[in-house]
Amino acid sequence: MSKKKALITGITGQDGAYLAEFLIKKDYIVHGLKRRASMFNTERIDHLYQEPHIDDRNLILHYGDLTDSMNLTRIVQEVQPDEIYNLAAMSHVKVSFDTPEYTANSDGIGVLRILEAIRLLGLSNKTRFYQASTSELYGLVQEIPQNEKTPFYPRSPYGVAKLYAYWITVNYREAYNMHASNGILFNHESPIRGETFVTRKITRAMARIVLGMQDTLYVGNLSAQRDWGHAKDYVQAMYLILQQDKPDDYVIATGTTTSIRDFIKMTGEKLGLLISFEGKDIEEKGYIAGVNEAVFNENVGSQYLENIKMRLENYSVKKARKPLISVDPQYFRPTEVEMLIGDASKAKKVLGWEPEYDLKGLIEDMILSDIKLMKKDAYLRNGGYRILNYFE
């Protein structure tokens, strides 16, 4: 029997990388759409990527872009995929306020381009289509928790573009009888999460801080609440959605919501740090107010304790206090999504989907990975090599 073929757009992103790994394990041949970039941009899939001259490869990349319909049509024609996972998107909500037209083009019309390619190539009965829809559709939430029937109220150019994408997927399903489905995924993170999303920004910065490589992390709205799951669990849901006899739309979420402030505190706990917040609004600051040395030594290392003890000493005598966290309004959004919490009962019942990770497990995975990464940086810096700052 010939192997199933999947085409993943956005394969160089967080979800694309986990999904490619998952499908290759299931014996798929995975084709990925990759944008041309001025540098290699395949770090997340490097462990899966094979030398292009090898026969029988199970991962094949194609240059392409969601804004180029002819290119998309040609790739779909060449690959003749059994399944398309459309994960490509300008996925940063804040950036979508700076690039609204581009975001509409790639995240909204890009979806139409793929659906039209499937239809015009006569693949409507063969190719199943998954659209990466989002909890950002709920925006100014009309109901708590949010489920498949909750009305949408997007609050950003990103959310509005994804609203078009959601409905055009539903419309092609109804109009042309296509197997086209939406996964309405709530926030999901991992050690390979993009560095400018808040969770990864926090775990990277806190790793640098405990290793003495940075003093303070600047963030935006500390009170926003998100329903965070692990990307590894969420790509399994994408696969399950396309294995159903009937196409449909599903919420994928953990059902727990947590503020950014509490995410920071929980990350601190894993490092043995007690983090205390003082002040209000843009004057709010977080300080290291205690340390559990045994936990710190186990997860960070006793050689880094001195610096933390000094910060603690300054904190208690209220002198030369360095905040761990400070608010910078440049990270606020013109319109904010204050709270998201999903109800994934339908996915659990119909797909049999169950997440393995809870928030504690997710944070542990992320912070331990970033401690390792930053230790590597510290090692290189101490050896006289340049390391990148990645200021945002």
Terminal-residue alpha carbon distance, the chain: 49
**Are 341 and 225 contacting, i.e. CB atoms less than 8 angstroms apart?**
yes
CA dist., res. 371 & res. 273, Å (int): 14
Q: Helix 359-382 to helix 198-210 angle, to the nearest 10 degrees?
A: 50
Residues near ligand NAP (CB under 6 A): 9-10, 12-16, 33, 35, 37, 41, 65-67, 87-91, 106, 132, 134, 185, 187-188, 194
Q: Identify which of residues 184 and 374 has a Cβ nearer to ligand G4F in the complex.
A: 184
Q: Identify which of residues 134 and 203 has a Cβ nearer to ligand G4F in the complex.
A: 134
CA dist., res. 345 & res. 354, Å (int): 10
DSSP assignment of 198-265: HHHHHHHHHHHHHTTS-S-EEES-SS-EE--EEHHHHHHHHHHHHHSSS--EEEE--S--EEHHHHHH
Neighbours of 32 (CB within 10 A): 27
For residue 298, the minimal CB distance to ligand G4F (Å) is 28
Q: Identify which of residues 90 and 312 has a Cβ nearer to ligand NAP in the complex.
A: 90
Q: Which of the residues 9, 127, 136, 239 is marked catalytic?
A: 136
Respond yes or no: is residue 134 known to be catalytic: yes
Please report, to the nearest 10 degrees, the dihedral formed by the alpha carbons of residues 190, 191, 192, 198 taken in order.
70
For residue 286, the minimal CB distance to ligand G4F (Å) is 12
For residue 288, the minimal CB distance to ligand NAP (Å) is 29
User: Which of positions 175-194 make contact with ligand G4F (CB under 6 A)?
Assistant: 186-187
Helical H segments across the chain, by residue range: 14-25, 69-79, 93-98, 100-103, 110-120, 157-176, 198-210, 231-243, 260-270, 293-299, 305-316, 345-346, 359-382
230 binds, among ligand G4F, ligand NAP, none (CB under 5 to 8 A by kind): none
Residue 100, preceding bond cis, omega within 30 degrees? no
Neighbours of 144 (CB within 10 A): 12
Q: Identify which of residues 174 and 215 has a Cβ nearer to ligand G4F in the complex.
A: 215
Among 99, 196, 214, 307, contact with ligand G4F (rule: CB under 6 A): 196
- The three-point CA angle 94-97-102 to 5° equals 110
Among 198, 206, 275, 344, contact with ligand G4F (rule: CB under 6 A): 198
Q: Identify which of residues 187 and 203 has a Cβ nearer to ligand NAP in the complex.
A: 187
By the rule CB under 6 A, 219 interacts with ligand G4F: yes
Which residue is closest to ligand NAP by CB? 13
Q: Which of the residues 12, 134, 150, 169 is marked catalytic?
A: 134
- In the numeric block, the tokens 């872009």 are attached to 65
182 binds, among ligand NAP, ligand G4F, none (CB under 5 to 8 A by kind): none
Binding mask 128-147 toward ligand G4F (x if CB under 6 A, else -) reads ------xxx-----------
By the rule CB under 6 A, 336 interacts with ligand G4F: yes
**Are 6 and 84 contacting, i.e. CB atoms less than 8 angstroms apart?**
yes
Respond yes or no: is residue 172 known to be catalytic: no
For residue 338, the minimal CB distance to ligand G4F (Å) is 7
Q: Identify which of residues 118 and 237 has a Cβ nearer to ligand G4F in the complex.
A: 237
CA dist., res. 222 & res. 326, Å (int): 10
Under rule CB under 6 A, how many of the chain's residues touch ligand G4F?
A: 23
Q: Identify which of residues 109 and 295 has a Cβ nearer to ligand NAP in the complex.
A: 109
Respond yes or no: is residue 278 known to be catalytic: no
Write out the catalytic residue numbers.
134, 136, 158
Binding site for ligand G4F (CB under 6 A): 91, 93-94, 134-136, 186-187, 196-198, 201, 219-221, 224, 226, 260, 331, 333, 336-337, 340
